[in-house]
Amino acid sequence: MILAIETSCDDTCAAVVTAAGEIRSNAIASQGLLHERYGGVVPEIASRRHLELADALVADALEQAGATLEDIDRVAVTRGPGLIGALLVGLSAAKAIAAARRLPLVPVDHLHGHVVASTLQPDPIEPPYVCLVASGGHTFVARVDEPSTYAILGQTLDDAAGEAFDKGARILGLGYPGGPIVDRLARDGDASALDFPRSLPGDGLDFSFSGLKTSLLYRVRDLGEQEAAERRADLAASYQSAIADALLARLEQAVAREGVERVALGGGVAANSALRAGAEALCERIGARLWTPPIALCTDNAAMIAAAARFGEPVAYPGYLDLDAAARLA
Ligand code: KG4
Ligand code: ZN
């Protein structure tokens, strides 16, 4: 059994997963409300909160799994990318737990976790597949031929899709994090009410979302405060559909180019209802099979870190004691 810890951003997460990919527990403590008043994640506050919660989350994950540390064979932890202080808390906790029992430690690339979230039970995807990962910090489409690694086919040149949701929500005067709020508000709006650009830069599979955000800003300015407030649901629905359309357009091109029949979504934005519905329609139209993980496996979680650790290189004790966290991975 694998005990995994994830603290790359503002969620403190621990999970217990078997080598076969069965999730025994997936504990998450979200710090969302703590950062809401600042309109975004404050790194120092996130680190301190992780420090307070890490032990409790590990205890929760073990208890929910009906396990003790005696049952754990390896420890997995997110090494990066993410907020350096936040990462260090999880990494230190994982090192301490592993070292005390002389267990091997598997350092995990957070993005690899998002890519392989769909390889968990009960319906694991098998390579080859194409995966669209859209989160608050990253947006890319990747090909997976074997689950220990992934090849990036295209990525965002500026903002991530989740960032576009969060910044858009701020322009519309909504709360933080913006994605879920825009998603909810969009249900009462008309996605074709307002025109927003679908930017598809270059000839490859890259994304760009910064122009879309600017066009929302101008649109709100042109409408004026009162009309923009009255049409908030239409603005949210139209803006959301521009993001989803751009993501789906690249996903469709990637699947056609790579000639695969299996498709997965990952990352916090994969929780978006317009993207999920659009991906389902797309896959049905092109005859591909789609894996959309449950929302708890799309947003940050430790089960996906354990999933990736099944395919990673374990480091034996004491080799990992001087392992460092990395805000960016090469
Ligand atoms: O993967 P994640 O939990 O953390 C990162 O690794 O960044 O992604 C967080 C992002 C945030 O930008 C949040 O607004 C977005 O995912 N998000 C959503 C939804 N739920 C979360 N975006 C659109 N619709 C949602 N339902
Ligand atoms: Zn993430």
Q: What is the DSSP letter of 156?
A: B
Whose Cα sits closest to atom 21 in ligand 1?
A: 268
| Residue-level pLDDT at 106 | 98
| Residue-level pLDDT at 277 | 98
In-domain check, residue 220: yes
Residues 79 and 147 in one domain: no
Residues 28 and 155 in one domain: no
Residues 76 and 144 in one domain: no
Cα–ligand 1 centroid distance for 298 (angstroms): 8
Contact 117/15 with Cβ under 8 angstroms?
no
d(CA 197, CA 98): 50
How does pLDDT run across 54-85, given as a tens digit for each residue? 999 999 999 999 999 999 999 999 999 999 99
Using 70 as the pLDDT threshold, list the residues of the chain that sit under it.
Answer: none
Cα–ligand 2 centroid distance for 225 (angstroms): 34
DSSP element (H, E) containing 99:
helix 84-100
Q: Is the dihedral of CA 112, 117, 121, 126 positive or negative?
A: negative
- Cβ-proximal residues to 136 (8 Å cutoff; 6+ apart), any chain: 9, 160, 162, 163, 166, 177, 179, 268
Q: Indicate if ligand 1 lies below 6 Å from the C-beta of 183.
A: yes
In-domain check, residue 265: yes
Contact 173/185 with Cβ under 8 angstroms?
no
In-domain check, residue 330: no
In-domain check, residue 317: no
Q: Which residues pair with 266 in a beta bridge?
A: 133
How does pLDDT run across 3-28, given as a tens digit for each residue? 999 999 999 999 999 999 999 999 99
Residues 48 and 66 in one domain: yes
| Residue-level pLDDT at 330 | 78
| Residue-level pLDDT at 170 | 94
Task: State the Cα torsion 55-57-58-62 to the nearest 10°.
Answer: 140
In-domain check, residue 328: no
Q: Indicate if ligand 1 lies below 6 Å from the C-beta of 178.
A: yes
Q: Return the ligand 1 atom nearest residue 137 CA.
A: 7
Count of domains observed in the chain: 2
Q: Return the ligand 1 atom nearest residue 161 CA.
A: 12
| Residue-level pLDDT at 35 | 86
| 42 alpha-carbon distance from chain centroid | 18
Residues 68 and 95 in one domain: yes
d(CA 244, CA 253): 14
In-domain check, residue 44: yes
| Lateral strand order in the sheet of 11-17 | 23-30, 11-17, 2-6, 74-80, 105-109
Ligand nearest to the CA of 240: 1
* Full domain range(s) for residue 279: 121-292
CATH number of the domain that 183 lies in?
3.30.420.40
Whose Cα sits closest to atom 18 in ligand 1?
A: 179
Residues 151 and 97 in one domain: no
Residues 135 and 217 in one domain: yes
Residues 70 and 100 in one domain: yes
Q: Which residues pair with 289 in a beta bridge?
A: 262
In-domain check, residue 250: yes
Residues 280 and 190 in one domain: yes
In-domain check, residue 259: yes
